[in-house]
Structure 1
Amino acid sequence: MFPIYDVIVVGAGHAGCEAAHAAASMGSKILLCTMNMNTIAQMSCNPAMGGVAKGQIVREIDALGGMSGIISDKSMIQFRMLNRSKGPAMWSPRSQNDRMRFAEEWRLALEKNPNVDFWQEMISGLLVKDGKVCGVKTGIGVEISSKSVVLTNGTFLNGVIHIGEKQFGGGRTGESAAKGITEQLVQLGFEAGRMKTGTPPRVDGRSLDYGKMEEQFGDENPEKFSYLDSTQPLKEQRSCWITYTNKEVHQTLETGFDRSPMFNGRIQGLGPRYCPSIEDKINRFAERDRHQIFVEPEGWNTVEIYVNGFSTSLPEDVQYKALRMIPGFENAKMFRPGYAIEYDFFPPTQLKLSLETHLIENLYFAGQINGTTGYEEAASQGLIAGINASLKVQEKDPFILKRSDAYIGVLVDDLINKGTEEPYRMFTSRAEFRLLLRQDNADLRLTKLGYDIGLASEDRFKKMLDKKSATASLINELKQKKMGPEGVNSILESMGTATIQEKTSAEKLLKRPQIGVRELMSLDEDLRESLKKYTKEVQEQAEIQIKYDSYIDKEQQMVAKLSNMENFRIPHRFDYLSITALSNEGKQKLNKIRPETLGQASRISGVSPADLSILTVYLGR
């Protein structure tokens, strides 16, 4: 009935879709298993992609040849570049998306790939032989063989939904939980844990009074995620809205605390620290009179509204009363209440940097099964797992991104070396080289890597080379172009920047904080005409590289210093336990995580500098 697949992907959320697309695009034969074909790439929580650090991840996925950026662009209803008032390392693209179109575009993209097959059924177990995974077993007992398996189960593994004192099994509202896989993996020696996440109520937009809220517009000149020209920037956008809770809202919510599964102990799993429920917020920040609520449309044509900032698992009657006390929500009609969901995860210290498990060969984990939260974090792991499952089948070396290569590299490195006790979310502060890992240069950093492994297309690679060449040409032009005091000093004075006493290059003037490419154009007519031949993207890239040249150079020097440790490989079967000079904690952590390089070993919590020195000596021998 079935061929032997190269890769079986279990779960069709953001991680599963990226894994299936990547492996299939690299030539592997894929089976994508989902419990419901109608919920492929479902935006289970907010209808948005990107944001601080997350937007950088979406651009990195795109640069490597993944699909999240393209799908986001095709289903976008609003675009904003966050943190424009800060330096370029902090600029973060974010989109509001049409939930239905997002899922539809992902499904159509996968169906267009001839290497992707589908199977709609719960997967209840793995087929394992001699320490290798060799397929999956479905809920009705069908066995399907494969050379590798990627598990991207999201919140479905033994998922339990909580609404007040009510609790019932489910991986998402209206969908069953997945059973069997956790129990088998634990039997095989894996360590498992429980986490929780939540979602807010959805309401009828026709019942809201937007006159009592602040309108939040998209950018005047919206951009895109994808570096490709597969879509055009939005010509029209839908607004979001901002309102606030108040004391009355908080007091009403508090009346349900005795029935809250968070406070009466029914929920054991740890929730996301940086995206707390509304009851958690008013409990932890009791001194605050109000909290921000973002009112987000779910699409172009639907009236459904996502109440961002009101995630809750309180009883539905309490949710309803409290909602109606928020300005603009006095007559709100609820489509469905918010809820919390508890689910199984597997501490990611049990994985290699390729996301393959240590215990079972050819078995990969990606997404919330690894203890992360967020569509973008899940999608990036799916991409890496799909790439590496395909490479393993082709008997090629794994694809590993370093911390200096990408936010995706930071994410995977953090998970494997530090683990996580609460849902992991990416922030710019987690990346020590964030000035190198900007959203504007993801293609310059990563597209060649994606092209070399057969994922990024020829067109994508050529487009990156053209951008790189044009940027270098523009920077050189700005270095050569000289301007004298008589022509520019009056304009420089009007800009609030110092005048010049001698001929100065356009490049030097561009280093000034008051001057950008647009201001340069006003200084010299010939230069203005010359700059017009470069795209806005190239102009921006040249400006950033010139303005931050010394800072970028310092970070690159730091990367070079650390590269020796990153390139110092440790044999996989190295016997840490036999080195008596290592600390007991160091031995345990090194033996459990089995770092692939000395650099990775240095980042493991519990491995001291002394342990590292001893390890270096033994490896040198």
Structure 2
Amino acid sequence: MFKDTYDVIVVGAGHAGSEAAAAAANMGSSTLLVTMNLQNIAQMSCNPAMGGIAKGQILREIDAIGGYSGIVSDTSAIQFKMLNKSKGPAMWSPRVQSDRMMFSQHWREKLEQTQNLDFYQEMVSGLMVEKHKVVGVRTSLGLEIKAKTVILTNGTFLNGLIHIGNKNFGGGRAGERASTGMTAELIELGFEAGRMKTGTPPRVDGRSLDFSKMEEQPGDENPWKFSYSSETKPLEKQRSCWMTYTSPEVHNILKEGFDRSPMFNGAIQSTGPRYCPSIEDKIHKFADKERHQMFVEPEGWNTIEYYVNGFSTSLPEDIQYKALKLVAGFENVKFFRPGYAIEYDYFPPTQLRHTLETKLVEGLYFAGQINGTTGYEEAASQGLMAGMNAALKVQEKEDFILSRSEAYIGVLIDDLITKGTEEPYRMFTSRAEYRTLLRQDNADFRLTGKSFGVGLASSERMKVMEEKKKKSETFVEFFKNQSVTTDEINPILGSKKSSKVDQQGKLYKILARPNIVMEDMRKLESVKKHIEENNLGNEVLEQVEVQVKYAGYIEKEKLNADKLNRLENVRIPEHFNYNGLKSMSLEAREKLTKIKPRTISQASRVSGVNPSDVSVLLVHMGR
């Protein structure tokens, strides 16, 4: 039924598993994707959307490296928004509302068109391990499939338990059974396991809602897209989302069900996502708030199903229904299904290397929610990195690791394996020290060349990136060298209430002004001519505007990143004996022995390691 031995077996076909399988196969590795239901590849288990604050940056990084998530997000989008546009470019975050069914369908089509990739539908219940090295997987039917590497991307399915009020039942997602057997086997191999919780809101019938009582949330007037490739185009038409609010009356009804809430009656003891709390958690923790926002989001182009964002809950279904009926626009609401909470097993990510390979078992990789993260984008990025590194391991090539100054993906993985997490981890721009460098607009400049070098990003992508980079650099030089007369520029400056100039000067200084934008400069004949002659698109214009306006900040951050990277280059031997450094604190010795950091820089970020401990290490290394 199968190849004698696969290079890579990927277990699970969610966002992490799909990216892992695509990456490994596209890098030439014979790959098998095993999942419990091939009809649900890359299923959007929760909200039908991709991107958002920091997540949008991650998605653009995935696309720049050669993953599929950006392309699929574009081809299945029903609305596009660039969030935080009123702030600096480091905060700009693209987001799409997606057609849920189309998203999954397009992912499957992309995977089926990928060479070197086989599929199999069944539960993987165990691993084949010999001498601390993985050699394959066992299925629930007793089949043994051999592999050189295995990537586990089990999502919320490991011993998944769904809660609705006092009721609970096994499941990895509504309507799908849980995965059993794997956790016990991993614990037997020596892995430490934990338990986490997440939740989802009710889905409702849009025909039963009164949108006239809600605030319309349309997409951007001139929408962009996620993928840097020419394979996708910006949306020509969009669907609106809607916003409404809870009220004190809604809160009172919800409180009636608190005694039957698994969150409050002890049925759920695991930790849920801090930054995506349930509605009962919100009204409990923020009792002073009289109302909370709810975003009413369509599930696709041609469906009447709507997702009630902001109303995640595990309260009894009758309480959910009574409370929602009191929300403006929901007076006659009909449910498709109630909201629920789900508990599942995860494995603290401090047990991993930067490649996402486990420290205990060679050739075994973990990616996605099994590592304690939450969110499609975080999962997809881990899957991409695990797939690439598994392929590189089989090919006996150097690991593909991104640093904190190179990508949000680097920040995410470094945070996980260095600090660990005791609650579902979500990426934010504030987690990145060098977010001015890690903008959504320059992910291709940062990462496409690196990916091309290891065989994932295509030559076509490389060519597109190099052309964009050349055009951007040429246009920046144009601004530095092109002068403008007072007669040409002063009318524009006056219209923007910016101080006029009394002599001819360079365009660069004008564009650097905070209240002058590229659209103003396009009114100048010389600028307009350069744009037309060089066929410059919006991405180049945005890139140049950012580079000119924020040149000082970008340069300062590069210098800071270079300082950090000097410590990144001071490597620590893999089996270094920290207990031999008696002048180091006991806590630091214990933490460093457990984490086994690769470099001095990573060691400095381990919780419990202070600057004096780092100094001891540096002295020992002869620095």
Q: Could you list the per-position Cα deviations for residues 8-46 of structure 1 after superposition, in whole angstroms to 9, with x for gaps in the alignment?
A: 100000000000000000000111010001111000000
Q: Could you list the per-position Cα deviations for residues 529-562 of structure 1 after superposition, in whole angstroms to 9, with x for gaps in the alignment?
A: 2223321211111110010000000000001111
Question: Which deviates the most, 509-518 or 420-429?
Answer: 509-518
How far apart are 1:570 and its partner, in Å? 1.0
Separation in 2, partners of 1:583, 1:340: 41
Partner of 2:183: 182
Aligned-partner SS, 1:353: coil
Matched, 1:2 2:6: no
Q: Could you list the per-position Cα deviations for residues 85-134 of structure 1 after superposition, in whole angstroms to 9, with x for gaps in the alignment?
A: 11100100000000000000011111111211111111110000000011
Partner of 1:355: 356
Partner of 1:134: 135
How far apart are 1:521 and its partner, in Å? 2.0
Separation in 1, partners of 2:206, 2:476: 49
Separation in 2, partners of 1:116, 1:66: 15
Residue type at the aligned position of 1:148: T
Partner of 1:616: 618
Separation in 2, partners of 1:584, 1:289: 48
Partner of 1:568: 570
Partner of 1:552: 554
Q: Could you list the per-position Cα deviations for residues 41-94 of structure 1 after superposition, in whole angstroms to 9, with x for gaps in the alignment?
A: 000000000000000000000000000000000100000000111110010000
Separation in 2, partners of 1:490, 1:197: 56
Aligned-partner SS, 1:147: strand
Partner of 1:366: 367
Residue type at the aligned position of 1:348: P
Separation in 2, partners of 1:22, 1:268: 37
Q: Percent identity?
A: 64
The answer to whether the 8 A contact 2:208-2:334 is kept is yes
Aligned-partner SS, 1:6: strand
Separation in 1, partners of 2:522, 2:15: 43
Aligned-partner SS, 1:620: coil
How far apart are 1:456 and its partner, in Å? 0.4
Residue type at the aligned position of 1:526: S
Residue type at the aligned position of 2:136: G
Q: Could you list the per-position Cα deviations for residues 477-497 of structure 1 after superposition, in whole angstroms to 9, with x for gaps in the alignment?
A: 111111122332233122100
Partner of 1:273: 274
Aligned-partner SS, 1:413: helix
Partner of 1:117: 118
Residue type at the aligned position of 1:71: V
Residue type at the aligned position of 1:618: H
How far apart are 1:616 and its partner, in Å? 1.5
The answer to whether the 8 A contact 2:157-2:171 is kept is yes
How far apart are 1:235 and its partner, in Å? 0.7
Aligned-partner SS, 1:262: coil
Separation in 1, partners of 2:487, 2:225: 41
TM-score, with length taken from structure 2? 0.99
Matched, 1:592 2:583: no
Q: Could you list the per-position Cα deviations for residues 350-395 of structure 1 after superposition, in whole angstroms to 9, with x for gaps in the alignment?
A: 0001100000001000000000000000000000000000000011
- For 1:194-233, list aligned pairs within 5 A: 194-233=195-234
How far apart are 1:601 and its partner, in Å? 0.6
Residue type at the aligned position of 1:77: I
Partner of 2:51: 50
Partner of 1:520: 521
- For 1:286-435, list aligned pairs within 5 A: 286-435=287-436
Matched, 1:64 2:65: yes
Partner of 2:246: 245
Residue type at the aligned position of 1:345: Y
Matched, 1:582 2:573: no
Q: Could you list the per-position Cα deviations for residues 496-538 of structure 1 after superposition, in whole angstroms to 9, with x for gaps in the alignment?
A: 001112111011100001111110122x323322223321211
Aligned-partner SS, 1:146: strand
Residue type at the aligned position of 2:619: V
- For 1:496-507, list aligned pairs within 5 A: 496-507=497-508
Structure 1 unpaired stretches of 5+: none
- For 1:137-152, list aligned pairs within 5 A: 137-152=138-153
Separation in 1, partners of 2:448, 2:194: 36
Separation in 1, partners of 2:232, 2:555: 34
Partner of 1:457: 458
Question: Which deviates the most, 527-536 or 477-486?
Answer: 527-536
How far apart are 1:614 and its partner, in Å? 1.2
The answer to whether the 8 A contact 2:492-2:520 is kept is no
Residue type at the aligned position of 1:125: G
Separation in 2, partners of 1:391, 1:571: 22
Question: Which deviates the most, 42-51 or 493-502?
Answer: 493-502
The answer to whether the 8 A contact 2:218-2:240 is kept is yes
Partner of 1:543: 545
How far apart are 1:268 and its partner, in Å? 1.3
Separation in 2, partners of 1:2, 1:229: 36
Separation in 1, partners of 2:121, 2:374: 25
Separation in 1, partners of 2:335, 2:61: 37
Residue type at the aligned position of 2:529: E
Q: Could you list the per-position Cα deviations for residues 185-231 of structure 1 after superposition, in whole angstroms to 9, with x for gaps in the alignment?
A: 11111110000000000000011000000011000111100000111
Separation in 2, partners of 1:434, 1:507: 24
Separation in 2, partners of 1:455, 1:5: 19
Partner of 1:22: 23
Partner of 1:530: 530
Separation in 1, partners of 2:295, 2:542: 31
The answer to whether the 8 A contact 2:12-2:35 is kept is yes
Separation in 2, partners of 1:79, 1:226: 13
Separation in 2, partners of 1:462, 1:324: 55
Partner of 2:605: 603
Residue type at the aligned position of 2:283: I
Aligned-partner SS, 2:467: helix
Partner of 2:474: 473
Separation in 1, partners of 2:488, 2:113: 58
Aligned-partner SS, 1:174: coil
Residue type at the aligned position of 2:2: F
Partner of 1:99: 100
Structure 2 unpaired stretches of 5+: none
Q: Could you list the per-position Cα deviations for residues 167-192 of structure 1 after superposition, in whole angstroms to 9, with x for gaps in the alignment?
A: 11110011111111111111111110
Separation in 2, partners of 1:53, 1:565: 26
Separation in 2, partners of 1:94, 1:490: 37
Q: Could you list the per-position Cα deviations for residues 299-329 of structure 1 after superposition, in whole angstroms to 9, with x for gaps in the alignment?
A: 0001100000000000000001111111000
Separation in 1, partners of 2:53, 2:379: 16
Q: Could you list the per-position Cα deviations for residues 563-600 of structure 1 after superposition, in whole angstroms to 9, with x for gaps in the alignment?
A: 11001111111111222222111111111110111111
Residue type at the aligned position of 1:337: P
CA pair 114-528 structure 1, distance change in 2 beyond 3 A = closer
Partner of 1:12: 13
Separation in 2, partners of 1:180, 1:365: 16
Question: Which deviates the most, 469-478 or 575-584?
Answer: 575-584
Aligned-partner SS, 1:148: strand
Separation in 1, partners of 2:581, 2:287: 52
The answer to whether the 8 A contact 2:26-2:115 is kept is no
Q: Could you list the per-position Cα deviations for residues 282-310 of structure 1 after superposition, in whole angstroms to 9, with x for gaps in the alignment?
A: 00111111100000000000110000000
Separation in 2, partners of 1:189, 1:149: 17
Aligned-partner SS, 1:343: strand
